[in-house]
């Protein structure tokens, strides 16, 4: 008899799970059925969502048409994140997501980030050797026109996307072949009295039996918490925000579309701005310990210079499930964890979690469950610590920023900063994930640390002085890449013009 894997909830996480499970069963020649239970009576919220490059890699893997995805989901290109007013007021820095070391020859035993180390030693912004930094500044797409009028990629680097979350979920659903669907609301579950495993879901359309269940019900956490009583690990003592006020702002006619996420620090939190092809999905993530919702609205209206119409005001507890996998149920997406959307960790985390689960743990032994839970906990804890590093700021201009400096910088961030005052960050400072899947490692930390002024130039200079030959090669590479990217970026297609061409 076929194994039955039941996914509760559609949306981006649910349909990613369906796609990746079907692929795993096909690769492993397993007889399994994938079922998605979602209710048409529960509307999808079309908020702006950002991804990392791993989402594009996933599209490529499944041979899904990237241009069709951009067109059908009103998606835009994302080269990175622009951080405004985080270090201090009227200061900005960018975090481009391409890694220039990927196009360079590794220099023996030299650290994998030797180009970043050279840039810090030379007093150059780390961003200068990133093609995506130039494309980001000039509002370009990652393609140029060939003489025959077809697009050609500007580089081998994977970019990311912004999109309407509701449209993306529908698009993934359309391309999830061989998946059964049931339109029903889940009201509970029938469990085995001895093992506690879920045997069937209780819905208005009858019972839905299964061997394994994936909870993609978002903040409701219908199975992992509602049925199985999963415990929540709060990050409130490290990450200081606990409310979000989302709203939309329409794009103006002819307005160029920025190919980056804007993260704009405010008096008691920060504002996100994620462009789709028709509007900006925006929101204020803030702490209600320092600001009421009414005052939050006023603060954003002053910052933007116009009135806003909040779509909601959500209170949340940032954190994760203590165990993302309990009995025969695995939580994914917002059912598993929630972090402020500063570094697009949500969809990235779901994709990598599915990679680990489908590659290593489909046999579902107790050992598999323990190993997966340890991995998922560490992954989200690492996300927490990376986001926490963004709050190491010179700002003390409001009670919120004073409190952050005194109370909210966690021990992992403090330990790393202390260590990196005596040495430069290196790959060996980060424990790789199973399968060495993409994670928050030194290539993502460098632009943030550099932008916040947290790297020691003297240490970088001493590192380069230990190997004059490496310094010479690094300088040659940095000069060459900088010249090449400054020359080639203006030749790229404008972002809006490219999207309109689709």
pLDDT for 105 equals: 73
pLDDT for 107 equals: 57
Domain of 88, CATH number, reads: 3.50.50.60
- Residues 135, 168, single domain; the answer is no
Query: Residue 343 phi/psi, 5° resolution?
Result: -125, 25
Structure tokens that stand for 439 in this block: 């994670």
pLDDT band of 402, cuts 50, 70, 90:
very high
% of the chain beyond a pLDDT of 70 = 98
Residue 319, classed as helix, strand or coil, is strand
- Residues 238, 317, single domain; the answer is yes
Has residue 46 got a pLDDT over 60? no
Domains in the chain, number: 2
Last residue of a domain, one of 370, 394, 419: 419
Mean pLDDT (whole number) for 175-179: 93
pLDDT for 106 equals: 67
- Residues 75, 143, single domain; the answer is no
Closest to 80 measured CA to CA, from 155, 131, 16: 131
Mean pLDDT (whole number) for 151-179: 94
- Residues 461, 361, single domain; the answer is no
- Residues 492, 432, single domain; the answer is yes
- Residues 131, 202, single domain; the answer is no
Catalytic hit among 71, 78, 221, 322? 78
Structure tokens that stand for 28 in this block: 């492993």
Has residue 68 got a pLDDT over 80? yes
Has residue 110 got a pLDDT over 70? no
> Which of the two residues, 10 and 411, has the higher pLDDT score?
411
- Residues 231, 242, single domain; the answer is yes
Summarised one tens digit per residue, pLDDT across range 217-253 is 999 999 999 999 999 999 999 999 999 999 999 999 9
Mean pLDDT (whole number) for 455-480: 94
Mean pLDDT (whole number) for 325-335: 97
How far apart are alpha carbons 121 and 203 in whole angstroms? Answer: 62
Question: What is the pLDDT of the chain when averaged over all its residues?
Answer: 95
DSSP annotation string for 118-182: HHHHHT--GGGG-HHHHHHHTTB-SEEE-TTS-EEES-S---EEEEEHHHHHHHHHHH-TT-EEE
Has residue 155 got a pLDDT over 70? yes
Has residue 47 got a pLDDT over 90? no
> Catalytic annotation on 174?
no
Last residue of a domain, one of 385, 419, 453: 419
> Which of the two residues, 375 and 254, has the higher pLDDT score?
375
Mean pLDDT (whole number) for 24-38: 95
pLDDT for 112 equals: 77
- Residues 202, 271, single domain; the answer is yes
% of the chain beyond a pLDDT of 90 = 91
Closest to 119 measured CA to CA, from 131, 134, 130: 130
Mean pLDDT (whole number) for 141-165: 95
Q: How many C-beta neighbours within 10 Å does residue 127 have?
A: 21
pLDDT for 205 equals: 87
Structure tokens that stand for 209 in this block: 């039996």
Helix H or strand E encompassing 329: strand 329-331
Has residue 109 got a pLDDT over 90? no
pLDDT for 502 equals: 92
Summarised one tens digit per residue, pLDDT across range 472-498 is 999 999 999 999 999 999 999 999 999
- Residues 93, 109, single domain; the answer is no
pLDDT for 15 equals: 96
Domain boundaries, position 144 = 98-157+420-502
- Residues 264, 412, single domain; the answer is yes
- Residues 357, 251, single domain; the answer is yes
Task: Give me the sheet containing 337-338, strands edge to edge.
Answer: 232-234, 319-321, 337-338
Last residue of a domain, one of 419, 438, 462: 419
- Is the pTM higher than 0.75? The answer reads yes
- Residues 402, 495, single domain; the answer is no
How far apart are alpha carbons 266 and 398 in whole angstroms? Answer: 9
Longest dimension (CA), the chain: 72
């Amino acid at each position: 008899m076929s194994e039955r894997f039941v996914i509760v909830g559609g949306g981006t996480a649910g349909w990613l799970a369906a796609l990746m499970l079907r692929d795993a069963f096909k690769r492993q020649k397993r007889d399994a059925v994938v079922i998605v239970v979602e209710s048409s009576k529960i509307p999808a919220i079309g908020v702006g969502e950002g991804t990392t490059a791993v989402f594009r890699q996933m599209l490529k893997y499944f041979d899904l048409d990237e241009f069709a995805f951009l067109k059908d989901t009103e998606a835009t290109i994302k080269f990175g994140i622009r951080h405004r007013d985080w270090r201090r007021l009227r200061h900005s820095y960018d975090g481009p997501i391409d890694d220039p070391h990927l196009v360079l020859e590794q220099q023996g035993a030299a650290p994998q980030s030797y180009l970043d180390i050279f840039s810090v030693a030379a007093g150059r912004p780390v961003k200068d050797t990133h093609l995506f930094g130039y494309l980001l500044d000039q509002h370009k797409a990652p393609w140029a026109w060939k003489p025959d009028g077809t697009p050609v990629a500007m580089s081998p680097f994977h970019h990311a996307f912004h999109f309407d979350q509701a449209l993306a979920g529908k698009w993934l659903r359309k391309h999830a072949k061989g998946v059964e669907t049931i339109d029903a609301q889940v009201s509970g579950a029938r469990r085995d009295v001895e093992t506690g495993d879920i045997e069937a879901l209780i819905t208005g359309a009858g019972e839905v039996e299964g061997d394994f269940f994936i909870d993609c019900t978002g903040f409701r956490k219908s199975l992992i918490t509602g049925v199985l009583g999963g415990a929540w690990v709060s990050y409130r003592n490290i990450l200081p925000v606990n409310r979000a006020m989302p709203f939309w702002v329409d794009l103006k006619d002819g307005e160029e579309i920025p190919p980056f996420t804007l993260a704009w620090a405010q008096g008691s939190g920060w504002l996100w701005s994620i462009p789709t092809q028709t509007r900006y999905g925006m929101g204020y993530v803030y702490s209600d310990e320092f600001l009421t919702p009414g005052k939050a609205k006023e603060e954003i209206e002053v910052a933007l210079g116009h009135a806003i119409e909040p779509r909601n005001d959500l209170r949340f507890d940032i954190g994760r499930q203590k165990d993302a996998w309990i009995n025969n149920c695995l939580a994914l997406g917002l059912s598993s964890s929630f972090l402020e959307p500063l570094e697009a960790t949500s969809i990235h985390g779901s994709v990598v979690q599915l990679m680990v689960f489908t590659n290593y743990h489909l046999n579902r032994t107790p050992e598999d469950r323990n190993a997966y839970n340890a991995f998922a906990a560490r992954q989200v804890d690492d996300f927490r610590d990376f986001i926490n590093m963004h709050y190491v700021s010179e700002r003390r201009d409001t009670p919120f920023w004073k409190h952050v400096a005194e109370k909210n910088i966690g021990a992992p961030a403090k330990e790393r900063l202390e260590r990196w005052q005596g040495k430069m960050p290196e790959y060996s400072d980060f424990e790789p994930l199973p399968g060495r899947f993409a994670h928050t490692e030194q290539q993502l930390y460098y632009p943030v640390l550099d932008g916040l002024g947290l790297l020691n130039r003297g240490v970088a200079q001493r590192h380069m002085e230990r190997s004059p030959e490496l310094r010479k090669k690094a300088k040659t590479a940095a000069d060459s890449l900088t010249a090449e990217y400054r020359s080639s970026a203006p030749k790229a297609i404008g972002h809006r013009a490219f999207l309109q061409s689709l």
